[in-house]
Structure 1
Amino acid sequence: MSSIKQHVGTFAKKFVPSHRFLRTQESTIDRIHVIQTALDVQSIKVLNWNIAKKNYDKTWLQDFFNILEEYQPDLIFLQEFRLDVDADKVAELINMSWNFAPNFIDAHHQTYAGIFTAAKISPLKKRAIITKHYEPIIKTPKVSLMTEYPLSHHKDSLLTINSHLINFVNITKFKTQLHELEIALSTHQGPIIFAGDFNTWSRKRALLLYKVATRLGLMPVAFAPHQSNKIKRFLLSPPLDYIFYRGLNEQKTSAKVLEHINSSDHKPLLAEFSYINN
């Protein structure tokens, strides 16, 4: 994996200034499989999880490996993922193609935080979408990562966006990010998965998210009520984490919130889909 380490090193030299926290350009760090295949349209298993930067923690690692072994997801969407300059550790973490889009770089610790998307196949396209606005205190933006995958025996492709929506800002800035993501999704004619931590801790934020989803023809994955209550919230707020989809059949018996997992303050969300061929 020396090429990955070289890529990260080049990335750091290009983008790390003398001050500590830095907004990155729209760029990704990637590990791509050589063999190109396609997603099995009969079963597309998805894991969505805000891991609270715990991916170098032993407890989180054990939880993650157990999830991979038991549920074998085809697509993995992680938010608040850390990447050290030694990216070989990530390569050892997961034997899948992956794309990482940082929303900021900590120049002091030489670590990157952002969105991590992994898949059993390589993406046809990828694109990082960075917010125009910054969160306060450390003044960093939020990032979403758009990836597109081929579907077995079909001309259509699956578009995915792994998102972490902006927090601690007024509703106008939140709406601006949603609008940018809506534009990115609106040009795709095929199936879509829109997942992440949407920071919908108020009903106004949740309503804006659902309006965008409705305009795009997206539906949220339906979890059983007792499991839905375990999704991350603030007091009596709406959930923060969602998996939206369009043009896919949700296998409802496979939608799960892994409420026994405590290595992050967010619970992992699992869902399984099959492709609707209209």
Structure 2
Amino acid sequence: MVDIKQKVDFLARKFVPSHRFLRTQESTIDRSHILQTALNPASIKVLNWNIAKKSYHENWVRDFLIILEQYQPDLIFLQEFRLDIDAKNIVELVNMSWIFAPNFIDAHHQSYSGILTAAKISPLHKRAIITKHYEPIIKTPKVSLMAEYPLSHNPNSLLTVNSHLINFVNLHKFKTQLHELELALSTHQGPIIFSGDFNTWNRQRALLLYKVATRLGLMPVSFTPHHSKKIKRFLLSPPLDYIFYRGLKEHKTNARVLEHITSSDHKPLLAEFSYINT
């Protein structure tokens, strides 16, 4: 029987040239657009979506612009976003501030790949967290992006974490990334939104994620059964995509999964929160 590692190495040599996927020294790339000075604590609308590297596809652009117009999110968390190396701005986000955290450069397409957080305001602070371990075949890390935003008439700030958790590795490496994120989140005293594609395609991974969420006092957004079953899964696995929160009030009737969107194999998740300083 052929060893699994030998199979992976063979596929890597055959289909993925070693010079194509390059590690990047960039921590974050960002653009600021001052639309307002703080988030409205009475209504914070959130969009989370793994777009499967479709950011330059016509169908995705159309879907994204429709979502922006119809739901007007205040915070946007996108995973698997492509950004051209020479891009000066993102047309679809011309009226928002955005931060992009790359995890590698695709030399063939001359683009970065990574995660993007956008908001109607500029962040107070930002930080990219790169995994210590790498996914097989293309041998690239995963990245999470922390961004802190002011809340109108409140001394506390909102910490957001946009994450894409490591895949195709053993449970120890998955747990290592979660542990590093938990340490980063644990120092924040105010409200938190922890969102992304967590690659929780089996019970063990999902259990580790929920243990971290519980220790941090985070709750998952409550989707109705109809919406919940539309969230990306592998066969009968737990959901892959989540929006967790703490220190906020969820507007449960506004939580939805946009099942009609087909430009990515992941469906967009929408939620709305309010914050009352106590």
TM-score by length of 2: 0.91
In the other structure, the counterpart of 2:206 is 206
Unaligned runs of 5+ in 2: 1-17
Aligned in 2, Cα 1:26/1:171: closer, same or farther, shift over 3 Å? farther
Please show how residues 107-126 of structure 1 align to structure 2 within 5 Å: 107-126=107-126
In the other structure, the counterpart of 1:49 is 49
Q: RMSD between aligned alpha carbons?
A: 1.3
Counterparts of 1:115 and 1:21, CA distance in 2: 16
Aligned residues of 2:230 and 2:257 also touching (Cα < 8 A): yes
Aligned residues of 1:26 and 1:129 also touching (Cα < 8 A): no
Aligned residues: 261
Shift of 1:95: 1.6
Shift of 1:91: 3.9
Aligned in 2, Cα 1:53/1:203: closer, same or farther, shift over 3 Å? same
Aligned residues of 1:135 and 1:169 also touching (Cα < 8 A): yes
Aligned residues of 1:159 and 1:192 also touching (Cα < 8 A): yes
Q: Does 1:228 align with 2:193?
A: no
Shift of 1:92: 4.8
SS at 1:103's partner residue? strand
Please show how residues 21-100 of structure 1 align to structure 2 within 5 Å: 21-25=21-25, 27-34=27-34, 37-88=37-88, 90-100=90-100
SS at 2:226's partner residue? helix
Aligned residues of 1:26 and 1:128 also touching (Cα < 8 A): no
Aligned in 2, Cα 1:59/1:108: closer, same or farther, shift over 3 Å? closer
In the other structure, the counterpart of 1:218 is 218
Unaligned runs of 5+ in 1: 1-17
Counterparts of 2:226 and 2:92, CA distance in 1: 35
Please show how residues 114-263 of structure 1 align to structure 2 within 5 Å: 114-263=114-263
1:260 maps to a residue whose letter is H
2:271 maps to a residue whose letter is A
% identical equivalent positions: 82
Counterparts of 2:181 and 2:276, CA distance in 1: 24
Counterparts of 2:108 and 2:262, CA distance in 1: 29
Counterparts of 1:47 and 1:36, CA distance in 2: 19
Aligned residues of 2:36 and 2:120 also touching (Cα < 8 A): no
TM-score by length of 1: 0.91
SS at 2:227's partner residue? helix
1:153 maps to a residue whose letter is H
Counterparts of 1:248 and 1:221, CA distance in 2: 11
Shift of 1:26: 5.9
Counterparts of 1:176 and 1:164, CA distance in 2: 13
Aligned residues of 1:115 and 1:144 also touching (Cα < 8 A): yes
